[in-house]
Structure 1
Amino acid sequence: MARLDGKIAVVTGSGSGIGETTAKLFAREGATVVLVARREETLRRVKSEIEAEGGNAVYVSADLSTLDGCEKAIGYTVDKFGRIDILVNNAGIADLHKSTVGTDDELWNKVVGINLNAVFYLCRSALKHMEKQGSGNIVNVSSIGAFGLAGAAYSSTKAAVIALTKNIAIQYAGRGIRCNSTLPGPVPTALNTPEAMQHFDPEMREITGRHLDTSLPESETIDQANAILFFACDESKAITGQYLAIDNGWTL
């Protein structure tokens, strides 16, 4: 039986990478997926591919770095379907592994805007509707970077996502609303292609690399999507306020 049969699920950053794989997996599990990202052309492609497999999807093009963009995504979902069952906060950007001193105000604010503010705005907006329903499920995608293993801005925002996740879980424990977080390790996505990594701070990469077992393989986007699905479905109905690292042991 489909594990998300009849659910309305919002997946941000669903135009590529982990978000795209998650959206397609959710659709195969019976959810109607609301795809959210900035680039309409990628959303159209993912929507078409989901429908070609027999799934259901709609999309919202929104700038999640703004409050208006976040409320647009949630508002569209509720206006169209009357509810929101699952919110996956996956959208995020890298900070090129910049050190604290090497992070200027522009980069800091850009990373905070997407990686933290958007998660907060989307959770706040969705929770208002989940409270009325008496049910809901939020999965926030953090990162092993939350352990300080990335640039200053990225690590700070991803650690804050874990704290926000636990705070929401504490507020709603026993009230039909759950909130958990996944922590992806290195995954071959647009954020860390060899071309992108050429622009990373080499000193910080070397420093953080001392604390990681880089001899181990990277995970795949489907590994991340499977973990998100676990938190989103009833198989984890007794779990809230937790985080799970999916990194093939890089941080052990």
Structure 2
Amino acid sequence: MIFADRFAGKTLVVTGAAQGIGRAVALRAAAEGGMVLFVDRADFVGDVASEAGVRGRGFVCDLESYEGAAGAMTEAVRCFGGVDILINNVGGAIRMRPYDRFEPPQIEAEIRRSLMPTLWCCHAVLPHLIERGGGTIVNVSSNATRGIHRGPYSAAKGGINAITQSLAMEYASRNIRVVATAPGGTEAPPRRVPRNADGDTAEETQWMTEVVKQVEESSFLKRYGTINEQVAPILFLASDEASYVTGSVLPVAGGDLG
């Protein structure tokens, strides 16, 4: 369902916008009147942004670095004059394996992917929101803060919950809301960029099967959600309809609170 003009007069920065939930969020925000910077390190993000017509621009950068995050905010200001809403969607488990089977570089890689882009983008956007007189940050966390075979990813998402709540308290006086959703397992089209560029071993494939079973069994509804079921609460929290909601992490996982 499209809510016409819900984001009219607003500029949104959506990270991880080349595919999956981020792509759907960015396209719908543009359809609802927003000017949207589609941010991703995949070079085809510009093609995705072109689907939004004049309301979309693509920007390629690596948000695992502060320079990438700062560059994205600067680009939004250059293209659209400022930033009103940031939706931090970058993240995702690279590997599924018992924690004792993770190698130290793999643990660090999970934290870099699923925690650091949100930390960097929050830091980079705050001066722009303050200059604007307020705004909103929506972080996409996960209910996998409780789950199997994803220990480092779970820790990263727990960190996102913490930064959501601490920044909400710290910046409420500046008219800045900070909120999050915590999606559960979500059906999505095949990824154009794989989560694990090295490919999964036979063991990792088996561990992934165990994760899928755990996710489905933990959900009251006994199924994965759809992308649209994740997009709707993200954009609700980003909108003025949620003007009295801040510091909250909304589970969107069929009853599994994580």
1:36 equivalent in alignment to 2:35: no
Per-residue CA deviation, residues 173-230 of structure 1 (Å, 9 max, x unaligned), is 24210000001111123478xx979735629936982871486121111111111110
For the structure 1 residues 203 and 237, does the alpha-carbon distance in structure 2 shift closer, same or farther, using more than 3 Å as the test?
A: closer
Instruction: Return the offset for 1:66.
Output: 1.5
Query: Match of 1:209, SS?
Result: helix
- Match in the other structure for 2:145: 146
Query: Match of 1:238, SS?
Result: coil
1:231 equivalent in alignment to 2:230: no
Query: Match of 1:179, SS?
Result: strand
Instruction: Return the offset for 1:239.
Output: 0.4
Alignment partner of 1:22 out of 13, 22, 25? 25
- Match in the other structure for 2:85: 86
- Match in the other structure for 1:64: 63
Name the TM-score, length of structure 1 as normaliser: 0.89
RMSD of equivalent CA atoms: 2.6
Instruction: Return the offset for 1:150.
Output: 5.0
- Match in the other structure for 1:212: 218
Distance 1:63 1:126 in 2: 16
- Match in the other structure for 1:46: 48
After the TM superposition, list the runs of 4 or more consecutive aligned residues in structure 1 that deviate by more than 4 angstroms: 195-198
Matches within 5 A, 1:182-193: 182-189=181-188, 190=191
1:125 equivalent in alignment to 2:124: yes
Which deviates further from its counterpart, 23-32 or 79-88? 79-88
Query: Match of 1:36, SS?
Result: strand
- Match in the other structure for 1:136: 135
Structure 1 residue runs of 5 or longer lacking an equivalent are none
> Aligned AA for 1:50?
A
For the structure 1 residues 251 and 204, does the alpha-carbon distance in structure 2 shift closer, same or farther, using more than 3 Å as the test?
A: farther
Q: Is residue 150–residue 208 contact of structure 1 (8 Å, CA) maintained in 2?
A: no
Aligned residue pairs, count: 247
For the structure 1 residues 152 and 37, does the alpha-carbon distance in structure 2 shift closer, same or farther, using more than 3 Å as the test?
A: same
